[in-house]
């Protein structure tokens, strides 16, 4: 990963943050994309002793104009893009009966539309560098779960986007893969409206729904993302990798 330029969205927390730190520690020039400037600054300060570097990029990836500006600035600064990691995402609860159109659109815009837009704008540069994309999906993209309808649909769409673009870009030597985590201890559920007490109960219950008996850590998912983005995974494309403690192998409970 030495000197490769990696764009990582959702870098201010959770899986995105852990991935940015890991990439920088292994020599990458990381563009950490997010909206929380304070957390991004902390990320940069904590990883400045690594072999690589972290450049903060404040952007709202829901806005096409901001994505255009982001890509232009990166290419102007570095002259290349080698890796795109789409780690930004949101989760809101809701069923077919009570999910509002605004909630549906919000999740689709962040979890799918922005991923598509970022990939599309990066493709010419990824072709030049023979680079690759890693999308952060979810076990909910592979299996159905009640009460998170729009989130499940958005992640299933992200998986299919991964597979389709992998086929389209393979002739150019560009790889596209996704990781599908189970429950990982991040701020995702809290930002979706879950109170602290309910979240702690959820984590405890998740020990029984994941066969390995625990939830995941952001750093564990980051390691898989790093592998897929590295040359060691040079013959892997179109894959949606489960990293979920066995969650996808279980029945609904």
pLDDT tens digits for 207-240? 999 999 999 999 999 999 999 999 999 999 999 9
Q: What is the pLDDT of residues 79-135, one digit of tens each?
A: 999 999 999 999 999 999 999 999 999 999 999 999 999 999 999 999 999 999 999
Does the pLDDT at position 73 exceed 90? yes
Helix (H) or strand (E) holding 21: helix 14-25
- The pLDDT value recorded for residue 186 is 80
13 vs 207: CA distance, rounded Å: 23
Domains of the chain: 5-244 (3.40.50.720)
pLDDT at residue number 198 = 81
Q: Which region among 50-54, 105-109, 204-208 has the lowest average model confidence (pLDDT)?
A: 50-54
Reported confidence tier of residue 201, pLDDT bands at 50, 70, 90: confident
Catalytic (active-site) positions: 151
| Residue 30, pLDDT score | 97
In angstroms, rounded to a whole number, what is the distance separating the alpha carbons of residues 187 and 184? 9
Confidence label for 9 from pLDDT (cuts 50, 70 and 90): very high
Q: Which residues contact 145 (CB under 8 A, 6 or more apart)?
A: 152, 252
Helix and strand element counts for the chain (H, E): 9, 7
What are the tens digits of pLDDT across the range 129-168?
999 999 999 999 999 999 999 999 999 999 999 999 999 9
pLDDT at res. 194: 75
Rounded to the nearest integer, the mean pLDDT of the chain is: 94
Is residue 78 within a helix (H) or strand (E), and if so which, with residue range?
Answer: helix 64-78
pTM: 0.94
């Amino acid at each position: 990963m030495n000197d490769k330029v990696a764009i990582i969205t959702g870098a201010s927390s959770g899986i995105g943050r852990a991935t940015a730190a890991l990439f920088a520690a292994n020599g990458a020039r990381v563009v950490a994309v997010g909206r929380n400037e304070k957390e991004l600054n902390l990320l940069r300060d904590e990883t400045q002793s690594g072999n690589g570097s972290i450049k903060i990029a404040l952007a709202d990836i829901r806005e096409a104009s901001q994505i255009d500006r982001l890509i232009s600035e990166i290419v102007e600064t570095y002259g290349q893009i080698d890796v795109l990691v789409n780690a930004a995402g949101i989760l809101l609860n809701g069923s077919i009966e009570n999910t509002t159109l605004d909630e549906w659109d919000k999740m689709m815009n962040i979890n799918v539309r922005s991923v598509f837009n970022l990939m599309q704008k990066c493709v010419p540069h990824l072709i030049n560098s023979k680079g690759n994309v890693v999308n952060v999906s979810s076990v909910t993209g592979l299996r159905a779960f009640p009460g998170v309808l729009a989130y499940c649909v958005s992640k299933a769409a992200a998986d299919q986007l991964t597979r389709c673009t992998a086929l389209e870009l393979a002739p150019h030597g560009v790889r596209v893969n996704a990781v599908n985590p189970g429950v990982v201890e991040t701020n995702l559920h809290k930002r979706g409206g879950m109170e602290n007490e309910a979240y702690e109960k959820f984590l405890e219950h998740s020990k029984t729904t994941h066969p390995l008996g625990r939830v995941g850590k952001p750093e564990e998912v980051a390691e898989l993302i790093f592998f897929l983005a590295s040359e060691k995974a040079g013959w892997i494309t179109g894959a949606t990798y489960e990293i979920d403690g066995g969650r996808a192998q279980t029945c609904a409970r």
